[in-house]
Amino acid sequence: MRFVVLVFTLAVFLSLLALLHEVGVKSDQMRKRFSQVVETERTYSDEELKKTFSERVIRPMVKRISESIRRSAGNSKPVSQSKASIKLEKQLKASGLSLTLQEFSFIKGMLILVFFILGIALFLLLPIGLMLRLIILMVMANIPLFGTSRYLTASVKKRKETLLRELPETMDVLIVSVEAGLGLDAAIVRQYAKNKSALLTELNNAIREVQMGVPRRTALKEMAERCDVKELSAFVTALLQAEQLGVPIKNVLDVQADRLRIERKQMIQAKAAKAPIKIMLPTVLFIFPVVFIILLGPAAVDLVATFSK
């Protein structure tokens, strides 16, 4: 009798479990479909909310303030750019910073004003000599001048190194995608959707410009000039020549990937060859004196004690 009750209870439990499982599967499917619909609605209706706080609030505010300052100064017409302005704009594009020349100049001017006011406050409040206060004032005034230039130069260098480091791996991934049957543009877009790296971002921006009507040669050359990386410029040149001559894209990617691998190996070997020379300076300055103190210190103490008697 107990066995029958146990079997009946187990059968009821399994029946309820199967029923609840079916209900749960249907509920999960409905929830997934509903979430897809909601995400689709958000994709098309809330494009503005996808932008960062800086893109939605700070940058428009900075642009409005700088334009109002320029209009109040009587310079509402755009002035012709000098060589320094063209060079600065090129650096901003190469650094990957989402700032225009006008926005960068405004931020730099505001930093100069803030640091100058802070320097004047230190000049008036610090109880030190006049010469030291003047030095502090000059240092505070020059910090934003040289600091912003140094930061921009470091950003450009870092982004170039990032692009150069990502180039061989990106070529390998594009080769696999092209061999799978995708075109170069579709391969770039697909890989950008998976990995929004710096190089794939630049390539995807160039593809978007082509899709909006910009000639392919112009878009790729502008990307190469914007990035200012010799290896990427060589890849763009080879790509344009292949399209002009009808060479398969896969062959171009294979050759470029092999070349980039060889160049990376040579660069690593050159850095490894320079390492002993770079290590020599801290070794002589910091390690050798400690070794000499440990070895010759007791002997020097004994000599001083002997000659002092």
What pLDDT, in 10s, does the model give residues 33-69? Answer: 555 544 444 444 455 555 666 666 666 766 666 666 5
Query: Cβ(120)–Cβ(134) under 8 Å?
Result: no
Look at 18-32, 36-50, 102-116 and tell me which has the smallest mean pLDDT.
Answer: 36-50
Task: Give the pLDDT band (50/70/90) at residue 12.
Answer: low
Query: Cβ(170)–Cβ(197) under 8 Å?
Result: yes
pLDDT of residue 226: 83
Query: Cβ(259)–Cβ(167) under 8 Å?
Result: no
CA 99 to mean position of chain CA atoms:
14
Q: Does the pLDDT of residue 26 top 80, yes or no?
A: no
Q: CA torsion sign, 28 to 29 to 34 to 40?
A: positive
State phi, psi for 159 to the nearest 5 degrees.
Answer: -70, -40
Question: Which class for 284: exposed (0-12), middle (13-18), buried (19 or more C-beta within 10 A)?
Answer: exposed
Q: Does the pLDDT of residue 178 top 80, yes or no?
A: yes
Amino acid, res. 158 = K
Question: Which one is predicted more confidently, 149 or 309?
Answer: 149
pTM of the predicted model, to two decimals? 0.61
Contacts 24+ apart (CB under 8 A), 210-213: 210/185
What pLDDT digit, counting tens, does each position of 131-177 carry?
888 888 888 888 888 888 888 888 888 888 888 888 888 888 888 88
* Closest by CA position to 57, among listed 46, 65, 67: 65
CA 163 to mean position of chain CA atoms:
9
Query: Cβ(236)–Cβ(167) under 8 Å?
Result: no
Which uninterrupted H or E stretch holds 101?
helix 101-125
Q: What is the mean pLDDT of residues 278-287?
A: 83
Q: What is the mean pLDDT of residues 103-113?
A: 84
Share of the chain above pLDDT 70, in %: 73
Query: Cβ(137)–Cβ(122) under 8 Å?
Result: yes
Query: Cβ(98)–Cβ(55) under 8 Å?
Result: yes
Tally Cβ neighbours within 10 Å of residue 160.
20
Q: Does the pLDDT of residue 6 top 80, yes or no?
A: no
Q: Does the pLDDT of residue 3 top 60, yes or no?
A: no
pLDDT of residue 42: 47
Task: Give the pLDDT band (50/70/90) at residue 108.
Answer: confident
Question: 3-state DSSP call for residue 82?
Answer: coil
What is the chain's mean pLDDT, rounded? 77
Q: Does the pLDDT of residue 73 top 60, yes or no?
A: no
Q: Does the pLDDT of residue 205 top 70, yes or no?
A: yes
Question: Which one is predicted more confidently, 33 or 251?
Answer: 251
Rg (CA), the chain: 32
Amino acid, res. 68 = S
Structure token digits, residue 56: 């939605």
State phi, psi for 194 to the nearest 5 degrees.
Answer: -90, -35
Structure token digits, residue 48: 């503005």
pLDDT of residue 62: 63
